[in-house]
Amino acid sequence: MLDKSSFSAISTLLDDRVEGRSLPAGLYTREDVFQADMDVFFRKHWIYIGPECDVPEPGDATVIDIAGSSLIMLRDDDGEVRVFHNVCRHRGARILDAGTTVVSKLVCPYHQWTYELTGELAYAPHMGKDFDKTCNSLKPVNFRNIGGLIHVCLSDDPPADIAALEAVGRERLLPYDLRNTRVAHQTDLIENGNWKLTMENNRECYHCSANHPELCVSFIDLDFGFDPESLSPEDRETAARHEAMYAARTADWEAQGHPSAAIEQLTNCATNFRTQRLIISGAGESQTPDATAAVSKLLGIGRKDLGDMHLWGHNSWHHFMGDHIITAMVIPLGPDKTLLRMKWLVHKDAVEGVDYDFDKLTSVWIATNEQDGSLVERSHAGVSDPAYVPGMYSPFTETQLNWFAGWYVDRMRAHGY
Amino acid sequence: MLDKSSFSAISTLLDDRVEGRSLPAGLYTREDVFQADMDVFFRKHWIYIGPECDVPEPGDATVIDIAGSSLIMLRDDDGEVRVFHNVCRHRGARILDAGTTVVSKLVCPYHQWTYELTGELAYAPHMGKDFDKTCNSLKPVNFRNIGGLIHVCLSDDPPADIAALEAVGRERLLPYDLRNTRVAHQTDLIENGNWKLTMENNRECYHCSANHPELCVSFIDLDFGFDPESLSPEDRETAARHEAMYAARTADWEAQGHPSAAIEQLTNCATNFRTQRLIISGAGESQTPDATAAVSKLLGIGRKDLGDMHLWGHNSWHHFMGDHIITAMVIPLGPDKTLLRMKWLVHKDAVEGVDYDFDKLTSVWIATNEQDGSLVERSHAGVSDPAYVPGMYSPFTETQLNWFAGWYVDRMRAHGY
Amino acid sequence: MLDKSSFSAISTLLDDRVEGRSLPAGLYTREDVFQADMDVFFRKHWIYIGPECDVPEPGDATVIDIAGSSLIMLRDDDGEVRVFHNVCRHRGARILDAGTTVVSKLVCPYHQWTYELTGELAYAPHMGKDFDKTCNSLKPVNFRNIGGLIHVCLSDDPPADIAALEAVGRERLLPYDLRNTRVAHQTDLIENGNWKLTMENNRECYHCSANHPELCVSFIDLDFGFDPESLSPEDRETAARHEAMYAARTADWEAQGHPSAAIEQLTNCATNFRTQRLIISGAGESQTPDATAAVSKLLGIGRKDLGDMHLWGHNSWHHFMGDHIITAMVIPLGPDKTLLRMKWLVHKDAVEGVDYDFDKLTSVWIATNEQDGSLVERSHAGVSDPAYVPGMYSPFTETQLNWFAGWYVDRMRAHGY
């Protein structure tokens, strides 16, 4: 797609990246870099497109638009999840509109070409005797169901190292029984910034104490690094106590059969992820205004003392708690525009107003996302300024960003840029 | 305008076109193809810009913006239609605003340069003695009045094969006396799709039965082809009866001196058109909710039993009926944005509420255009998807599209792409 | 930034410019020319960014977004104006939002990096012992305070010929004591046209009599040239009387110690400006609906019989009158979009409703700017039309435009285009 001068400009920008510093401006702002990002990170890597509970029953179908593609995720008559391209094989019309629906077949509204939920073309009038329906099935999409989180790869050559993430899904996510959850709330927030700034913002908590009062009740910003010299004596003591507590709690959880230590695949890999069972602060149960569980009907194995199983992908983050799950999907819309779609999952039988209070469930992350959206916009405006030069990442609080930037450059190189 | 890499990309896309299938995606979606389309099909071919009844009286003037040009169509003091570029010869300011107005001279609001309705510069203050007004007339535009439908060519070398269309105008359109009509209603609908998808949609009725309940009362979708195998026994009988009826009615009309058989200039030509007198279904008079005439004061020769003289151009379609005319003009605004301007013409003396009911006159095509706009958007979204591959046109119902696609490729080639 | 084909296209357009005529279309309309314009005229020349009374007190700070840069203009604790890039040295976030505020330090909201009003980095937590704060001061911007009008140059190599404008500031503007004014009103008007059309429109009054009835009460359009042949005998007499009056008034003002004759640096220069003390028509005091002063508390030396000291820059115009000043800044937003920001300055102690009537103060230029915005839009639409060819400038009323166009071409050439 990109012409030679774009390739060469991008390659120079990748060369310009300095270890320990944020990326050169053009990698955040240029249209051609955005096209390259879509190609490399959203079409040739595994990406997260939503939880399987988006389509709980046979015939349920939902549309996800990402990286220029429109995808249909549905549950077929055998109860299996399937993912297809939302493109009629006749003249290409969109079959389903955005949103969620229930179908018995997939019927293109243009000329009534009709597909089974398996993707097979069942009916195509006026095409004549020589027309071979078997060559005109809906195009399927590679996907993996990882503990209930649906990941797709739009390329025919998907990275094999998804295997490590699949192991995490089996071992750490299945106890939350995502199959038996439902979406209690969803928000679509457009952040006026590059998707990598959205991801960088999510991978550090250096900005949390001054920007996220609601989240900081339950979330411990020091977990993601600190410079002891920057802390007051009291905070330094707190930090030390906290580190000791981590060792004890992790050992305790693991002894009970709940794997908890950090697993990271963040460098020298295609599929970028991190998971760890985190301690929740204060009441210790959930990311709510008072850190107690918001939902009385608990998920899966029914424990609310197992902290927060966090999971990062390169276009997602998730927190699995005893009473609910938040799951965020990042969908780039342009060099300076990114859709953040967040869903709050609760037990499928949990009833609003009976088993949970809506505001208690949702208010922390609604506030946090709005705050982050504003920071990402501020950040994008700055990197777009001719006066921007890549700044130093904190060696204590922004190590993850340094790794992410390095992984980004490596993956671009691996795909020929 | 376009650089070498665009030329070469477009040429490859034209090579990629496969007979019997829809066009390669880029021909519908790329910005450079859109620029080339404007140059070839809207600046170097004859295009339709509106009916002459837009300017019924001397001094009436209207502005048409198309293909980057702003045109003034006016009726001069001798009652003749004229078309000029809406660009002052001083510093280029627009002389008239969008819309219709009445003028005695054309006065540029910037510095009062003043032109006669013949285009001559009459007045230009402060320009000094050496200034030659005769070199600064408004630039005229090549145009032809074809049975009251004004066609222009923005090039200095207009295609000569407009002659065949002029013959049609003389023979088939003049009986409707478009000079003595008026615009009873006009709609501007923006379709979110490429102009060629708008035209393709207009040239098949494969989609009609499922999408156009209002139109199908008077319009017979089978007229534009069907696969007998796809019809029920009853529908097959209807179709056979209908074909027999066509032969009889056409012979009958022609015997009465009303040319009716199809005339097509659709391949191996510059000027693309088709006309035929079509049978109107049911009551047989007009494209209204019950197929009876909407207007009691009839057009021209005053017959409402002469069916529907349809006419296609490459940026227009028209239906001439006994009581009214609908005339549609297609104005591309971008690769994925097309303005459809439709006008409903009635006898100039027909009075709303007395001679016709507004809703009866307009409701069928208002509904049809909205339905088509939605289909074109759905279609454009699909061809923009990386999963789109050109699909097979039906050999029964989409022959006209196959010809249109072939004509498109031929004309691009003829202009050096 | 621009690729070779853009450079070559721009160079050809510059070659195409014909003396005595408006610029070739592409110089007004192309995106790449806009990028070049920003680079040459807004980053490598001195530009006006506002009056110093925008930040009257220590700690006052305001943000100006221009040519892709966001600038902080503030008054430091010593009462000195300073200008910085609004970009945090950490990861580049915007420090201040648009608008005006009061600060004791500049604190980046993202991670609380904190700068003194001198630009020094005072605080940056979690960066470790090896982090050198002294290398991370806010980047300063070259600026000059010219009689209270703040001019910046975003390049490291600012044109030296700003000296002539500085002399004008010292001699002609200081008597108005802009330091002791305040902003009584500000308007932001987006004109849908290229910035050069905004400037051309400002540099001729050929269009005034037909378009600016309010301004023409106090402003004399003939001052900016006329063709005697185009005037009525009465107007010719008026013009002759007026020229005689100019000679007398200018001599009189200068004898009183108020330099008044025209000073121009418009060709063969980098910094483009013109100033002259103009006669105000009618009551002769101010640009108000009846040409009497709007503000009873006069500026600076307290004279309302010294006419109108007009000043042009290449992105600004100003009128210094006895009772108030209007100051206009032109901020290009795109090839076809230009922000015109106008401020009305009055004595800092003048109170609305007591010392002046708001409508009397502001109505003339509010009307004039709206009229000009409409003309610029009309003009831009025209030069974007394929039918546009550069037209002849009037040798009497548009000499300044011919010079501006010539200066434009020269400066582009001087910067390698």
Q: Are strands A316-320 and C273-278 parallel, antiparallel or unpaired?
A: unpaired
Q: How far is CA A117 from the centre of its chain?
A: 26
Q: How high is the pLDDT of residue B416?
A: 95
Q: Is the pLDDT of residue C230 over 90?
A: no
Q: C400 CB near a chain B CB, below 8 Å?
A: no
Nearest to C392 by CA among B136, B84, B138: B136
Q: Is the pLDDT of residue A63 over 80?
A: yes
Adjacent-strand bridge partners of A185:
A344
Yes or no, beta carbons of B225 and A126 under 8 Å apart: yes
Q: How far apart are the first and last CA of chain A?
A: 13
Q: Is the pLDDT of residue B223 over 90?
A: no
Contact C117, C76 (CB under 8 A): yes
Euclidean distance between CA atoms B71 and C6, whole angstroms: 30
B349 to A325, B183, B295, B300: CA distances (angstroms)? 70, 11, 11, 12
Contact A391, A22 (CB under 8 A): yes
Yes or no, beta carbons of B386 and A112 under 8 Å apart: no
Q: What percent of chain C has pLDDT over 90?
A: 93
Q: Are strands B181-191 and B99-102 parallel, antiparallel or unpaired?
A: unpaired
Q: Is the pLDDT of residue A1 over 70?
A: no
Yes or no, beta carbons of A397 and C43 under 8 Å apart: no
> Across the interface, which of B5, B25, B392 has its CB nearest the CB of A127?
B392
Euclidean distance between CA atoms A327 and C139, whole angstroms: 40
B54-101: pLDDT as tens digits: 999 999 999 999 999 999 999 999 999 999 999 999 999 999 999 999
Show residues of chain A in contact with B375, CB under 8 Å: 93, 109-110
SS3 A4: helix
Q: Are strands C69-75 and A149-153 parallel, antiparallel or unpaired?
A: unpaired
Query: CA dihedral in degrees (B33, B38, B42, B43; nearest 10)?
Result: -120
Yes or no, beta carbons of A381 and C70 under 8 Å apart: yes
Contact A154, B386 (CB under 8 A): yes
A266-323: pLDDT as tens digits: 999 999 999 999 999 999 999 999 999 999 999 999 999 999 999 999 999 999 999 9
Euclidean distance between CA atoms C69 and C61, whole angstroms: 16
DSSP C295-362: BSS--TT--S-S-EEEEEETTEEEEE-SS-EEEEEEEEEETTEEEEEEEEEEETT--BTTTB-HHHHH
> Across the interface, which of A3, A69, A94 has its CB nearest the CB of B386?
A69
CATH class for the region spanning C52-158: mainly beta
Q: Give the nearest chain A residue to B402 (CA atoms).
A: A91
How far off is chain A from B231, nearest CA to CA, in Å? Answer: 8
Q: How far is CA A24 from the centre of its chain?
A: 24
Residues shown for chain A:
417
| Among A17, A394, A400, the residue to mutate for chain C (most C Cβ within 10 A) | A394
> Across the interface, which of A230, A386, A393 has its CB nearest the CB of C125?
A230
Euclidean distance between CA atoms A367 and A361, whole angstroms: 12
Show residues of chain C in contact with B109, CB under 8 Å: 210-211, 375, 378
Show residues of chain B in contact with C392, CB under 8 Å: 90, 127, 131
Where along chain A do the CATH 3.90.380.10 domains lie? 10-46+160-416
Mean pLDDT over the full length of chain B: 96
Euclidean distance between CA atoms B291 and B294, whole angstroms: 8
Q: A387 CB near a chain C CB, below 8 Å?
A: yes
How far off is chain B from C233, nearest CA to CA, in Å? Answer: 15
Yes or no, beta carbons of C126 and A230 under 8 Å apart: yes
Q: A225 CB near a chain C CB, below 8 Å?
A: yes
Where along chain A do the CATH 2.102.10.10 domains lie? 52-158
Nearest to A327 by CA among A141, A99, A48: A48
Choice among A174-183, B225-234, C408-417 with the minimum mean pLDDT: B225-234
DSSP A245-313: HHHHHHHHHHHTT---S-EEE-SS-SS-EEEEEEPPPTT-S-SSTTSS-SBSS--TT--S-S-EEEEEE
What would the two tokens of residue A326 be? 């938040």
Show residues of chain B in contact with A89, CB under 8 Å: 389, 391
Question: Which residues in C41-180 belong to E strands, given as ranges?
Answer: 47-51, 60-66, 69-75, 81-85, 99-102, 106-107, 114-115, 121-123, 142-146, 149-153
- Counting other chains too, the contacts that B163-170 makes at CB distance below 8 Å and 24 or more residues apart are B164/B263, B164/B265, B164/B271, B164/B273, B165/B46, B165/B265, B165/B271, B165/B273, B165/B313, B168/B263, B168/B273, B168/B275, B168/B311, B169/B145
Mean pLDDT over the full length of chain C: 96
How far off is chain C from B406, nearest CA to CA, in Å? Answer: 29
Q: Are strands A149-153 and A181-191 parallel, antiparallel or unpaired?
A: unpaired
Residue A164 backbone dihedrals phi, psi, to 5 degrees: -65, -40
Q: Is the pLDDT of residue C1 over 70?
A: no
Show residues of chain C in contact with B111, CB under 8 Å: 206-207, 210
Contact A173, A320 (CB under 8 A): yes
> Across the interface, which of B225, B230, B385 has its CB nearest the CB of A87?
B385
With a CB cutoff of 8 Å and minimum separation 6, the contacts of A232 are none
B126-164: pLDDT as tens digits: 999 999 999 999 999 999 999 999 999 999 999 999 999
Contact C228, B124 (CB under 8 A): no
Show residues of chain C in contact with B87, CB under 8 Å: 382, 385, 387-388
Q: B133 CB near a chain C CB, below 8 Å?
A: no
| Among B32, B389, B394, the residue to mutate for chain A (most A Cβ within 10 A) | B394
Euclidean distance between CA atoms B98 and C162, whole angstroms: 45
Adjacent-strand bridge partners of B274:
B264, B312
Nearest to B188 by CA among B393, B328, B18, B315: B328
Show residues of chain C in contact with A381, CB under 8 Å: 70, 93-94
Query: Computed from CA positions of residues A215, A220, A223, A227, in that sequence, does the dihedral angle turn out positive or negative?
Result: positive
Q: How high is the pLDDT of residue A221?
A: 86
What letter represents residue C43's amino acid? R
Q: Is the pLDDT of residue B1 over 70?
A: no
Q: How high is the pLDDT of residue A276?
A: 97
Contact A39, A21 (CB under 8 A): no
Q: How high is the pLDDT of residue C135?
A: 95
Q: Is the pLDDT of residue A228 over 90?
A: no
Check residue C92 and give left, alpha or beta (phi > 0: left; psi -120 to 50: alpha). left
Q: What percent of chain B has pLDDT over 90?
A: 93
Euclidean distance between CA atoms B168 and B263, whole angstroms: 8
Q: Is the pLDDT of residue B105 over 80?
A: yes
Mean pLDDT, range C240-256, rounded to an integer: 92
A329 to A60, A333, B301, C414: CA distances (angstroms)? 20, 13, 66, 50
Q: B226 CB near a chain A CB, below 8 Å?
A: yes
Q: How far is CA B324 from the centre of its chain?
A: 16
DSSP A7-60: HHHHHHHHHH--TTBPPPHHHHH-HHHHHHHIIIIIISS-EEEEEGGGS-STTE
Contact C226, C397 (CB under 8 A): yes
Q: What is the DSSP letter of C77?
A: T
Show residues of chain C in contact with B136, CB under 8 Å: 391
Q: How far is CA B178 from the centre of its chain?
A: 15
Euclidean distance between CA atoms C41 and C33, whole angstroms: 11
B378-406: pLDDT as tens digits: 999 999 999 999 999 999 999 999 999 99
Q: B206 CB near a chain A CB, below 8 Å?
A: yes
Show residues of chain B in contact with A86, CB under 8 Å: 382, 385
Q: Give CA angle at C195 (C191, C198), nearest 5°.
A: 65
With a CB cutoff of 8 Å and minimum separation 6, the contacts of A135 are none
Show residues of chain B in contact with C385, CB under 8 Å: 68-70, 85-87, 92
Show residues of chain A in contact with C85, CB under 8 Å: 385, 387
B324-379: pLDDT as tens digits: 999 999 999 999 999 999 999 999 999 999 999 999 999 999 999 999 999 999 99
More confident call, B275 vs A230: B275
Q: A88 CB near a chain B CB, below 8 Å?
A: yes
What would the two tokens of residue A293 be? 């569980």
Residues 288-347 of A with CB under 8 A from C: none
Contact A87, A110 (CB under 8 A): no
Contact A51, A327 (CB under 8 A): yes
Yes or no, beta carbons of B126 and C397 under 8 Å apart: yes
Euclidean distance between CA atoms A305 and B333, whole angstroms: 60
Choice among B85-89, B233-237, B286-290, C199-203 with the minimum mean pLDDT: B233-237
Choice among A19-23, A337-341, B388-392, C232-236 with the minimum mean pLDDT: C232-236
Q: Is the pLDDT of residue C219 over 80?
A: yes
Mean pLDDT, range B272-292, rounded to an integer: 97
Residues shown for chain B:
417
With a CB cutoff of 8 Å and minimum separation 6, the contacts of A142 are A152, A153, A154, A155, A156, A158
Q: How high is the pLDDT of residue A398?
A: 97
Mean pLDDT, range B260-287, rounded to an integer: 96
C367-387 in b/e form (b: 16+ CB < 10 A) is ebbebbbbbbbbbbbbbbbbb
Q: Give the nearest chain C residue to A3 (CA atoms).
A: C3
- Touching chains, B (3+ CB pairs < 8 A): A, C
Rounded to two decimals, the ipTM of the complex is 0.95
Q: A94 CB near a chain B CB, below 8 Å?
A: yes
Euclidean distance between CA atoms C369 and C202, whole angstroms: 10
Return the CATH superfamily for domain C10-46+160-416: Naphthalene 1,2-dioxygenase Alpha Subunit; Chain A, domain 1 (3.90.380.10)
DSSP B384-397: TSTT--PPBPPTTT
Euclidean distance between CA atoms A291 and C380, whole angstroms: 59
How far off is chain A from B226, nearest CA to CA, in Å? Answer: 6
Q: How high is the pLDDT of residue A312?
A: 97
With a CB cutoff of 8 Å and minimum separation 6, the contacts of A404 are A196, A199, A200, A203, A266, A272
Mean pLDDT, range C181-197, rounded to an integer: 98
**CA atoms within 13 A of residue C340's CA, in its CB half-sphere:** 30
In terms of Cβ atoms closer than 10 Å to its own Cβ (0-12, 13-18, 19+), residue C92 is buried
